[in-house]
């Protein structure tokens, strides 16, 4: 069976402090990463922490992109989950790595929604 989605967890290192600590820059880069991957952006929300750091999520028709930054460490933890075949989560991760001026990205992909043999999905019932 084909997976329902692809989930990439990326560790992005060596990023520029001034980018990771700027909520507007992180927001713009994240939204553009979703678009670069071919996703349809629905909405987004970001929060700036004190004294530093940004967290946020971009909701896309195909699932989501999420980020948590540690500017003082030059590090961003990124989560890109896409459903369907149109959107490539690796395109988003590579875009983020480039735009954060990172020196290194380590990432792994997990296929989501693969129903194991013998498991019968529930049948939806209209109520």
Residue positions annotated with a catalytic role: 63, 68, 83
Q: Say how many residues make up the chain.
A: 127
Q: What letter does residue 81 receive in the DSSP assignment?
A: E
Residue 94 CB neighbours (<10 A):
17
Question: Could you tell me if 32 and 95 are in contact, meaning their C-beta atoms sit under 8 angstroms apart?
Answer: yes
Tell me the CA end-to-end span of the chain in Å, nearest whole number. Answer: 29
Question: Could you tell me if 97 and 105 are in contact, meaning their C-beta atoms sit under 8 angstroms apart?
Answer: yes
Q: Which single residue is written with the structure tokens 């992109």?
A: 65
């Amino acid at each position: 069976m084909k997976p329902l989605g692809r989930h990439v967890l990326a560790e992005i290192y060596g990023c520029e402090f001034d980018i990771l600590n700027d909520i507007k820059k992180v927001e713009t880069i994240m939204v553009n990463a979703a678009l670069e991957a071919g996703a349809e952006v629905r909405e987004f929300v970001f929060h700036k922490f004190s004294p530093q750091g940004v967290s946020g999520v971009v909701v896309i028709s195909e699932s989501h992109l999420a980020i948590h930054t540690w500017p003082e460490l030059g590090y961003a933890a990124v989560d890109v989950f896409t459903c369907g075949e149109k959107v490539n989560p690796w395109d988003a991760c590579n875009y983020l790595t480039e735009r954060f001026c990172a020196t290194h990205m380590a990432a792994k992909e997990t296929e989501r929604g693969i129903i194991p043999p013998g498991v019968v999905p529930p049948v939806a019932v209209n109520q």
